Amino acid sequence: MKRQLLTLFFLTILSTAFAQKQNAIKPGEVWPDNNGDHIQAHGGGIVKIGKVYYWYGEERRPGLDTGYRYVSCYSSNDLMNWKFRGYAIKLKRPDSILTNNWVLERPKVYYNNATKKYVMYMHIDGGIKGISKSKWAYDYARVGVAISDKATGPFKYLKAFRPLDKESRDIGQFIDDDGTAYLIFECRPTDGFYIAKLSADYLTVDKEVSFIHAPLEGGAIVHYKGLYYVVGSALSGWSPNPNKVATSASIYGPWSSFENIAPPETKTYSSQSTMFIKVAGSKDTTVIFMGDRWKPSQLSDSRYIWIPVQIGDGKLWLPEPKAWTIDVKTGKWNYVNDKPEGK
Ligand code: GAL
């Protein structure tokens, strides 16, 4: 009996150790981190420092102190196994004019090579005391900026502002192949979204690079074989919609008209654009669409829809999501259940 219990004990330990190793990206499923907890990096952003990918996003797990908003940080060498690195920022209401229903959404982190600082941008919003009519208003419409010496934080909150003096809601991050860093932000009053170049220290926005006159948010950009592809989602809140793509030979535009990126009836496979990751390996370059499948009734259980896209010659298309793996060294990916050719 004692021996049986001991065997059971070791088997349990072994199975939990193995269960934590992820060999695939499984769109729409629970994605366990190194502790076995579903990754909390919603509306996130990924930045690669050396060989390490850092994933930041909205931390929504139940039981947190409701007086704060949290951004979590995860690290990975292979994009499949993510280690929880703690809360990069734990932020108290940053402005006394905000009501208690304020939000921190879509955090993105840039590394500034010149200053050696990590700079976080985040969408700070919510109702304004004495002015907003609805409890859940998004009237503040600013970006928050925070800074850190380390990728994992703690980030120190610096300020909130309106980039280019515009109302700013959903934000996106784009770092071009030459290292130039841009902030994408949606602006309701001008009915479109801006691509703006960051200042040399990344602490503010320098100038408008493009204004895309289309009512889209969740803006994401990838630069692939001489073309810029910009993707956005319609303004339907947490509910998914058919996301769209436009292209341009220059980040300054002019941009083409928008086309669907997936069969429209699937509503982007029930997800919303957040970002692209470009994995340029020794053999191939894979572009990954990062989308969020929001679950507003329990945001912590929102899922991630990561899909390797079909891209080239001005077309960007999301194949049906299926489990897949990637080798970040070669840049090659394949579906998990595909049989080798000829078998
Ligand atoms: C979405 C937006 C999310 C969040 C949500 C709230 O449109 O992309 O980041 O703001 O609305 O309803």
Cα–Cα distance for residue pair 209/225, rounded to 1 Å: 20
For a ligand 1 pocket test, name from 169, 217, 231, 273 the mutation site with the most ligand atoms within 8 angstroms of its C-beta: 217
Residue 43, ligand 1, Cβ within 6 A: yes
Per residue in 80-122, pLDDT (tens digit) is 999 999 999 999 999 999 999 999 999 999 999 999 999 999 9
Q: Are 54 and 73 in contact (CB under 8 A)?
A: yes
Domain residue limits, the chain: 25-335
Query: The CATH number of 25-335 is which of 1.10.10.10, 3.30.1360.70, 1.10.4190.10, 2.115.10.20?
Result: 2.115.10.20
* pLDDT, the chain, mean: 94
Cβ neighbours, 10 Å, residue 197:
16
Q: Which residue type is seen at 116?
A: K
Provide the residue-wise pLDDT of the chain in tens; the chain has 343 residues. 556 655 555 555 544 554 569 999 999 999 999 999 999 999 999 999 999 999 999 999 999 999 999 999 999 999 999 999 999 999 999 999 999 999 999 999 999 999 999 999 999 999 999 999 998 899 999 999 999 999 999 999 999 999 999 999 999 999 999 999 999 999 999 999 999 999 999 999 999 999 999 999 999 999 999 999 999 999 999 999 999 999 999 999 999 999 999 999 999 999 999 999 999 999 999 999 999 999 999 999 999 999 999 999 999 999 999 999 999 999 999 999 865 555 4
Residue 267, ligand 1, Cβ within 6 A: no
pTM above 0.85, yes or no: yes
Would the CA dihedral through 185, 212, 320, 241 be positive or negative?
Answer: positive
Per residue in 110-120, pLDDT (tens digit) is 999 999 999 99
Cα–Cα distance for residue pair 246/235, rounded to 1 Å: 17
* pLDDT of res. 7: 57
Q: Token pair for residue 21?
A: 């190793």
Cβ-based burial of 107 (10 A; exposed 0-12, middle 13-18, buried ≥19): buried
* pLDDT of res. 10: 56
* pLDDT of res. 337: 83
For a ligand 1 pocket test, name from 104, 170, 275 the mutation site with the most ligand atoms within 8 angstroms of its C-beta: 170
Q: Which residues contact 168 (CB under 8 A, 6 or more apart)?
A: 123, 141, 142, 143, 162, 185, 186, 187
Residue 136, ligand 1, Cβ within 6 A: no
Q: What are phi and psi of 303, to 5 degrees?
A: -110, 165
* pLDDT of res. 135: 86
* pLDDT of res. 343: 47
